[in-house]
């Protein structure tokens, strides 16, 4: 006959309290938590693209207009890549910009990675920075916070960042050496040789 183990009253209380605390933690709405990890975020089926800022999930809820801009740019780069197979472009891909910081991730509206830098497994959040990151400025975005994000990208190895400003129909072109406004034609010869995108074409249909 197996020996039965009887918990003392104090042990039982501690066990129950621990279980209740665990259940309570799981019931906290995701958007209110500050302890979410990138691994956990990756396993969730979320309704919108999301990023992690110090363990807090921040959803990226694009307007229809922002979606149109995203598609317009993605199509232009995609058309270029059909005849210049030098890499891949993706929408809303999540990156572990800081592989050792388990509660931080960023998801550009569009990103491009050169072929030679692409990892074998593209079905996970990539533990790297893209070569090109593109962000579409939302009406609610605070410009200084966006610029902090630009600096994060550049510090972690992104070569070029484009910030699309729909309200003025222009693009802020950012590298580690300079930042300037482009109103006519976007190029990126060091990443996309021969690629040209008229800024006005970014806003076709709007």
pLDDT of 15? 55
Measure CA 54 to chain center.
14
Mean pLDDT, rounded, for 130-143? 93
Residue 108 lies in a domain: yes
User: In angstroms, rounded to a whole number, what is the distance separating the alpha carbons of residues 57 and 24?
Assistant: 19
Task: Tell me how many degrees the CA angle 42-97-80 measures, rounded to the nearest 5.
Answer: 90
Residue 94 lies in a domain: yes
Q: Percentage of residues in the chain with pLDDT exceeding 70?
A: 87
Residue 148 lies in a domain: yes
Residue 116 lies in a domain: yes
User: In angstroms, rounded to a whole number, what is the distance separating the alpha carbons of residues 26 and 28?
Assistant: 6
pLDDT band at 59 (very low <50, low <70, confident <90, very high): very high
Output the domain CATH number for residue 80.
Answer: 3.90.1570.10
- Whole domain around residue 135: which residue ranges? 63-202
Give Cβ neighbours of residue 170 (< 8 Å, ≥ 6 apart). Answer: 181, 182, 183, 199
- For 176, other C-beta atoms within 10 Å of its C-beta total 14
**Residues 146-173: tens digit of each pLDDT:** 999 999 999 999 999 999 999 999 999 9
Residue 161 lies in a domain: yes
pLDDT band at 17 (very low <50, low <70, confident <90, very high): low
Hunting for tokens 């309290």 — which residue is that? Answer: 17
**Residues 76-102: tens digit of each pLDDT:** 999 999 999 999 999 999 999 998 999
Residue 33 lies in a domain: no
More confident residue, 46 or 21: 46
Residue 176 lies in a domain: yes
Residue 58 lies in a domain: no
Three-state secondary structure along 129-175? CCCEEEEECCCCCCHHHHHHHHHHHHHCCCCEEEEEECCCCEEEEEC
Domain count, the chain: 1
């Amino acid at each position: 006959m197996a020996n039965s183990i009887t918990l003392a009253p104090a042990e039982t209380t501690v066990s129950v309290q621990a279980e209740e605390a665990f259940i309570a933690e799981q019931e906290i709405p995701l958007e209110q938590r500050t302890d979410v990890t990138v691994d956990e975020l990756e396993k969730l089926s979320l309704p919108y693209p999301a990023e992690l800022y110090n363990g807090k999930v921040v959803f990226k809820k694009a307007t229809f207009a922002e979606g149109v801009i995203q598609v317009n740019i993605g199509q232009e780069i995609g058309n270029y890549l059909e005849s210049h197979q030098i890499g891949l472009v993706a929408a809303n891909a999540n990156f572990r910009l800081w592989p050792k910081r388990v509660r931080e991730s960023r998801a550009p509206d569009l990103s491009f990675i050169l072929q030679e830098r692409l990892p074998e497994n593209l079905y996970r959040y990539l533990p790297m920075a893209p070569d090109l990151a593109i962000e579409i400025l939302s009406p609610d975005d605070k410009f200084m916070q966006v610029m902090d994000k630009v600096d994060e990208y550049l510090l972690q190895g992104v070569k070029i960042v484009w910030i699309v400003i729909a309200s003025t129909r222009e693009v802020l072109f950012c590298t580690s050496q300079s930042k300037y406004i482009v109103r006519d034609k976007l190029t990126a010869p060091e990443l996309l040789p021969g690629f040209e995108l008229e800024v006005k074409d970014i806003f076709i249909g709007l």
